[in-house]
Amino acid sequence: MARTPKRLRRISQKVSLLGILSLFLLSGLLRLGAVGFAEASATQDETPAARDTPDPQGQCAPIEPLQQALDRVTGRAEALDAREAQLEERTAALVDVEARVSAQLATLEATEERLESLLALSDTAAENDLSRLTQVYETMDADDVAELFSQMDPGFAAGFLARMQSDAAAGVLAALDPAVAYSISVLIATRNASAPVSNPPAEAP
């Protein structure tokens, strides 16, 4: 009967050791499962960019040079667009300048036509005034006209005498001082000398 407690103690010790070993084994298995689950979660949570990263030895490796070429083409296209916009602005400015120049030319032409009209009107008015004054001299007494022409510039007097009727002009010349009449006659003759002659006198045989 004395051996029974000893055997029981040994059995209980073995059971305790087995329980402890079982706990250690279960703990190890749990740890291994946790590590595996963590690795699986990390694999599932990996970003598409990381999963799709091309292998340096694969065919999708030269993406950066293609992107650089695309950037260069895009930059050139933007530069061309900017240059085209500048050309359009310059063209619009030239069109505006051309329109303003055309408007100024039209204004100048209108002003020139108006000036020509005014000059023609002035010439007509002056001619009318001279004609009326000549008629007045023709109706005046020859002595009175001769006295006026004596005080007048010989050039003006010659102009009026050339406009007057022949008989009226002859009476005025006769009433003038001989020296004044001579100077006026020379002016009239010199003025008419350059005028074309319709019927030149026939040469003497």
- pLDDT computed for residue 73 by the predictor: 86
pLDDT tier, 113 (very low <50, low <70, confident <90, very high otherwise)? confident
Average pLDDT of span 141-156: 92
Of 146, 177, 147, which is closest to residue 161 (Cα–Cα)? 146
- pLDDT computed for residue 144 by the predictor: 93
List pLDDT tens digits, range 181-198: 999 999 988 876 654 444
Average pLDDT of span 33-59: 51
3-class secondary structure per residue, 93-162: HHHHHHHHHHHHHHHHHHHHHHHHHHHHHHHHHHHHHHHHHHHHHHHCCHHHHHHHHHHCCHHHHHHHHH
- pLDDT computed for residue 161 by the predictor: 92
- pLDDT computed for residue 50 by the predictor: 43
Mean pLDDT of the chain: 77
> What's the CA gap between 135 and 128, in Å, rounded?
11
Q: Give the domain ranges of the chain.
A: 140-194
pLDDT tier, 8 (very low <50, low <70, confident <90, very high otherwise)? low
- pLDDT computed for residue 134 by the predictor: 92
pLDDT tier, 205 (very low <50, low <70, confident <90, very high otherwise)? very low
Share of the chain above pLDDT 70, in %: 63
Average pLDDT of span 53-80: 73
List pLDDT tens digits, range 10-32: 666 665 666 666 666 666 666 66
Answer whether residue 98 shows pLDDT above 50: yes
